[in-house]
Amino acid sequence: MDIKTFAQNIINWQKQHGRHTLPWQNTKGPYRIWLSEVMLQQTQVATVIPYYQRFLKRFPSINDLAAAPLDTVMPYWAGLGYYARARNLHRCAQQIVSRHQGRFPTDAATLATLPGIGRTTAAAIAAFAFNEITPILDGNVKRIFARYFGIATPLNRSQTEKQLWVQAEQLLQVAQRPIDMAAYTQGLMDLGAMICSRTKPDCGACPLQQHCYAFQHQQQDRLPVRAATKKKPKRSKAALVLQAGSEIFLQQQAAPGIWGGLWSVPTFDKVVHLEHFIDQHLSVSQPNIQSLATIKHSFTHFDLTIQPVWVRIEEAPATLPVSSTKKRAWVPVTNLTAQALPAPIKKLFLSQEFIQLATKSA
């Protein structure tokens, strides 16, 4: 195993075979790099690209983002998931403007103290924008290291994580100087995404093949070791789709929470609770109540099934007994999908069943 040439092999491969045309590449601007790195956390490149481009068009600078209200920011993140990232992005922008005069810190250690920027994200920003010699360790890199070094313990163990950071630092310590950190960092990301994939890695095209433990011992399908997976719990909610005239009732979800800052229809733990709410607080006849098709949505830690119930009333009530901590609004049917909606609620509003029902009753 020759770790002295590891970094240079990655750099050479990236320059010849890696990705060079992604929207956030070919720039030293830390704002664009930071935005892309946060969006790419637990999200695939193909999904991120249109969000990144739309977000950047609306908020072209750190000052634009910091000055915007969070309610203005959230619609540009809606559907991308992991919404704490958007809230932290906004907080981080405000701190950079207020505490750092709108300039990004140039070192990973300081960057890592900002909201939503962990060690790997900080290192990526520092490497791409400022060429700082500092290691990254995202999911792709962990997989590469586990195979290259033959690490046979699950990656989610804290001891394995520490071992991987040590290896990452050592590879840079022994690397030939000067190091093109942008090419090295991007190369690790590209190699994990394009070659050293989770299943069916293309070892024949890998620049590390000669000294890779997994390749030498034919352990590619066994490394990295996967921790025992727990079956995701299943949860269910009932959703009240309340229509008055041509408007639908929405309320902003409290933060923190999986949908914090987004707008949604009211939800209940059980359909019977929703039905009780209708009986107690809404004057409506049975023909104006209809169950819609259930919606299934998978989160990282659980699977959610939503049972929407559409209810039409004659006019919007002055008050509704929902949580007083939430903002509320009656939104025109034609303007629903322009709101910052959770993905399953947007899916509901885009369904033909809802569109036909809502427009017919408007």
All CATH 3.90.79.10 domain ranges of the chain, comma separated, are 234-361
Per-state percent for the chain, helix, strand, coil, to nearest 5: 50, 10, 40
- Calpha distance 46→124 (Å, rounded): 19
Domain with CATH 1.10.340.30 in the chain: 3-216
Both tokens of 43, joined, read 């999200």
Q: With left for phi above 0 and alpha for psi between -120 and 50, is residue 267 left, alpha or beta?
A: beta
| Helices and strands counted in the chain (H then E) | 15, 8
For residue 110, the surrounding DSSP H or E stretch is helix 108-111
Residue-by-residue DSSP string for 281-342: H----GGGEEEPPPEEEE-SS-EEEEEEEEEEESS--S---S-TTS-EEEEEGGGGGGS---
CATH superfamily of the domain spanning 3-216: Hypothetical protein; domain 2 (1.10.340.30)
Query: How far apart, in Å, do the first and last CA atoms of the chain sit?
Result: 70
Per-residue pLDDT of the chain (362 residues; tens, 9 = 90+): 678 999 999 999 999 999 999 999 989 999 999 999 999 998 999 999 999 999 999 999 999 999 999 999 999 998 898 899 999 999 999 999 999 999 999 999 999 999 999 999 999 999 999 999 999 999 999 999 999 999 999 998 999 999 999 999 999 999 989 999 999 999 999 999 999 999 999 999 999 999 999 999 999 999 999 877 788 899 999 999 999 999 999 999 887 778 888 999 999 999 999 999 998 888 787 789 999 999 999 988 899 999 999 999 988 877 777 665 568 899 999 999 889 999 999 999 999 999 998 888 76
How far lies 213's CA from each of 72, 218, 223, in Å?
50, 8, 10
Q: Angle, nearest 10°, between helix axes 139-149 and 158-173?
A: 80
Please state, in angstroms and rounded to a whole number, the distance separating the CA atoms of residues 259 and 270. 19
Catalytic residue among 37, 247, 314, 353: 37
Architecture of domain 234-361: Alpha-Beta Complex (3.90)
- The predicted model scores a pTM of 0.85
In the block, tokens 């809502």 appear at 358
Sole residue written with tokens 């637990």: 42
31, exposed or middle or buried, with CB in 10 Å at 0-12, 13-18, 19+? buried
Query: 252 in helix, strand or coil?
Result: strand
Give SS3 for 130.
helix
User: Taking Cα atoms as reference points, which of 221, 225, 208 lies closest to residue 148?
Assistant: 208
In sequence order, the 6+-apart residues with CB closer than 8 A to the CB of 200 are none
**Residue 353: active-site member:** no
